[in-house]
Amino acid sequence: MYNETSWDEAELILANARQAFRELKKYSIRQRASFMRTIAVEIEALGDELIKTAMAETNLTEPRLIGERARTILQWNSYANYAELGNWMDVRIDTASRTLSKTDIRKTAVALGPVAVFGAGNFPFAFSTAGGDTASAIAAGCPVVVKAHPGHPKTCVLMAQAIEKARVKCRMPEGVFAQVYSTGIEIGQLLVKHEVIKAVAFTGSFKGGKAIADLAAQRHEPIPVFAEMGSINPVFLLPEKLRMEAAQVADQFIASVTLGVGQFCTNPGLMVGIAGDDLNTFTAALKNAAVNAAPATMLHPGIAQNFEHTRSNALQQSEVTVLAQSGIAKAENQGDATIASVSAATFIANPALHQEVFGPYSLLVVCQNADEMLAVAEAIEGQLTATFIATSNDLAENQTLTQIVQERCGRIIVNQFPTGVEVCLAMHHGGPYPATTNSAHTSVGADGIKRFTRPLSFQNWPNEHLPEELQNANPLEVWRTINNELTLEPIGQPVAGY
């Protein structure tokens, strides 16, 4: 069904991507959007074969994969809609007719060039071959070369076939999308280092993302790497809320920790609370919920082995206590819910406890007072998310804490849990390093299109030779800031001098 990609084959794929980038400039935003919607149709047309193939390769359940397929289709359609809307181009026009100026300057966003995408193992549809990174890059006008994930190669093949069918139907240039296959790292390194590639998107481990970012930075022409590298997603348990709903919060917490066998980058791997009767009540309920949580099969044996190894390493750290573990016998390659505990002072002093354990695991950090909770927040590195379980009074009384935590995350949540990342324009799925390599951008939501663009100003250009979004008549009907006013209106007069 697929073969390992040779070095020569990869070189040809990259040459085609270079040519496709030049050809794509002749295609309008509306043509790209139509292509994207056709990809969504072709993904849906894969039907049961796609679901069953992914089930066999990943051990994910049928309902979960059906939901993820719907999310993937939503991404292609919603990003297509946003591409046509044009806001992501941030069009600015300052005409020669404005006060004290005789120069016409117009700015838009243009595509960077071919993009290399490294997909995630835990989302074989939404963050892999036909995932949000690929959709965002194509929306921006960039060809894509995907490194197929070795954990679900057959699923990757099916998705690539769907994209190719859409390409042929829409008469898009050959080379606008391609996929390479390799179980080693050499082909992936070639993509990152090759002069044709102008940006990289990655979802996975810190080790993998950091290696790619370092490699890209060492190029003669360094390129941006948008790597999402995981997170421990701290949850701060504030006193009044815990006093009111300790048992309910514990049940919700275990449900979040065990969702998808904990195989989410937004899994809440850290809890921070203040010692006392309310935290004791919470802990008792947490133990009961964890003991009764059923183990489940992880993505593949390598993930299960990594979970066992990293969990064991965390539990072997000095002064770490196991609070609870699933009491239900587990089978091979299954992950079982595990909750551990440690003092705030020990957590702060031991960086090993700050590392992600990818699976159904969480660590409770017990603080002696509010000042220690502040110190824990100060010690935590960049995160994708942070959560407050809190009443309005709790938030009012802990404003310094909430400000510190805002400095360390890309999404801050109150009285909900971070698992689940909604596809919408207001979503920011990113965060300060080491959660990502670029905290200014998101990998979920149509704002992710902006990752693969750069600004370009046109000065004193003839109207008929400008990109459509900059032309006087505004043929794309996009919002534009003209002489400091946001408007849909066309410009009445031609550029001075033409």
What average pLDDT does this structure show over 149-168?
98
Query: Rounded distance, CA 330 to CA 287, Å?
Result: 18
Copy the structure tokens of residue 353: 């406890």
Query: Is the predicted pLDDT of residue 436 greater than 90, yes or no?
Result: yes
Burial code (b: 16+ CB inside 10 Å, e: under 16) for 464-487 equals eebbebbbbebebebbbebeeeee
What average pLDDT does this structure show over 464-468?
97
**Averaged confidence pLDDT in the chain:** 96
Query: Catalytic positions, please?
Result: 228, 265
Check residue 230 and give its pLDDT.
85
Query: Is the predicted pLDDT of residue 101 greater than 90, yes or no?
Result: no
Between strands 234-237 and 334-335, the pairing is: unpaired
Closest CA to 93 of 78, 108, 79: 108
Check residue 264 and give its pLDDT.
95
- Residue 495 — pLDDT band, cuts 50, 70, 90? very low
What average pLDDT does this structure show over 395-415?
98
- CA within 13 Å, CB half, 226: 27
Closest CA to 417 of 266, 245, 260, 263: 266
Task: Confirm if 151 and 57 have CB atoms less than 8 A apart.
Answer: yes
- Residue 102 — pLDDT band, cuts 50, 70, 90? confident
Lowest mean pLDDT of 26-40, 79-93, 97-111, name the range. Answer: 97-111
What average pLDDT does this structure show over 114-133?
97
Check residue 493 and give its pLDDT.
54
Task: Confirm if 37 and 80 have CB atoms less than 8 A apart.
Answer: yes
The Cα-based distances of 23 to 28, 108, 202 in angstroms read: 11, 19, 26
DSSP one-letter string for 227-255: EE-----EEEE-HHHHHHHHHHHHHHHHH
**β-sheet bridge partners, residue 322:** 340
Copy the structure tokens of residue 214: 């370092």
- Residue 2 — pLDDT band, cuts 50, 70, 90? confident
Task: Confirm if 333 and 327 have CB atoms less than 8 A apart.
Answer: no
**pLDDT, tens digit (0-9, with 9 covering 90-100), for 274-318:** 999 999 999 999 999 999 999 999 999 999 999 999 999 999 999
Query: Rounded distance, CA 481 to CA 68, Å?
Result: 37
Closest CA to 230 of 355, 377, 118, 43: 355
Q: What one-character DSSP code corresponds to residue 386?
A: E
**pLDDT, tens digit (0-9, with 9 covering 90-100), for 35-94:** 999 999 999 999 999 999 999 999 999 999 999 999 999 999 999 999 999 999 999 999
**pLDDT, tens digit (0-9, with 9 covering 90-100), for 203-241:** 999 999 999 999 999 999 999 999 999 899 999 999 999
Query: Is the predicted pLDDT of residue 496 greater than 50, yes or no?
Result: no
Query: Rounded distance, CA 470 to CA 107, Å?
Result: 8
